[in-house]
Amino acid sequence: MAAPLHLTLPPETASVTALLDALEAFTDEAELPIKPASRLMLLAEELAANVVMHATGATFFTADVALEGATLRFTLTDDGPEYDPLGRAEPDTDAALEDREAGGLGVHLVRQLAASAEYRREDGRNILGITLDAAAE
């Protein structure tokens, strides 16, 4: 069983790479199947990229990952302005090429691939928690 991971990083693009490298080590250690491992890395990146790209006032973000039985829990916390990415409108995934817009894709992936996703604002921080099925085939 892999020990829970806790990281505190500055809100810059290099931190997203550092987070992915740490998660890759975590998923190897936990011997997760490829599907939940790649979903975890993907959704962690989407959420961290949101903070790095949009939370202009954040001074840090933290990432916590734990494997609880068959559930992977990932929580991202930042001290930027209040922002709930889950409140974004869904992209139209049936639109023709000319009409497809680039926005909202990351959050769409979170909604589709996470077993659950929840946002809350607490003590001046954005806290976004997701769970994933660790045994997904």
Partner 1 sequence: MQITISSAAGLQVAKLEGRLDTATAPQAEASLLPALTAPGLVLDLTAVRYVSSAGLRLLLKLAKEAKGKGAKFSLAGLQPAVREVFEISGFDKIIPAFATVAEATAG
95 binds partner 1 per the rule CB under 8 A: yes
116 binds partner 1 per the rule CB under 8 A: no
Select from 2, 7, 20, 66 the one that contacts partner 1 (CB under 8 A).
Answer: 20
123 binds partner 1 per the rule CB under 8 A: no
Task: Compare residues 6 and 100 and give the one whose CB is closer to partner 1.
Answer: 100
25 binds partner 1 per the rule CB under 8 A: no
Query: 65 near 111, Cβ under 8 Å?
Result: no
**DSSP-assigned letter for residue 74:** E
In sequence order, which residues have a C-beta less than 8 Å from that of residue 62 and are 6 or more positions away?
6, 7, 8, 9, 76, 77, 78
55 binds partner 1 per the rule CB under 8 A: no
What is the smallest separation between the CB atom of 60 and partner 1, expressed in angstroms? Answer: 18
115 binds partner 1 per the rule CB under 8 A: no
Task: Compare residues 58 and 113 and give the one whose CB is closer to partner 1.
Answer: 113
Instruction: Concatenate the DSSP letters of all residues of 85-136 into one string.
Output: GGGSPPP-TT--GGG--STTHHHHHHHHH-SEEEEEEETTEEEEEEEEETT-
88 binds partner 1 per the rule CB under 8 A: no
Amino acid code (one letter) for 100? R
How many Å apart are CA 133 and CA 7, to the nearest integer?
A: 22
Q: Which residues bind partner 1 (CB under 8 A)?
A: 13-14, 16-17, 20, 34-35, 38-39, 41-42, 45-46, 48-49, 52-53, 91-98, 100, 102, 105-106, 108-109, 112-113
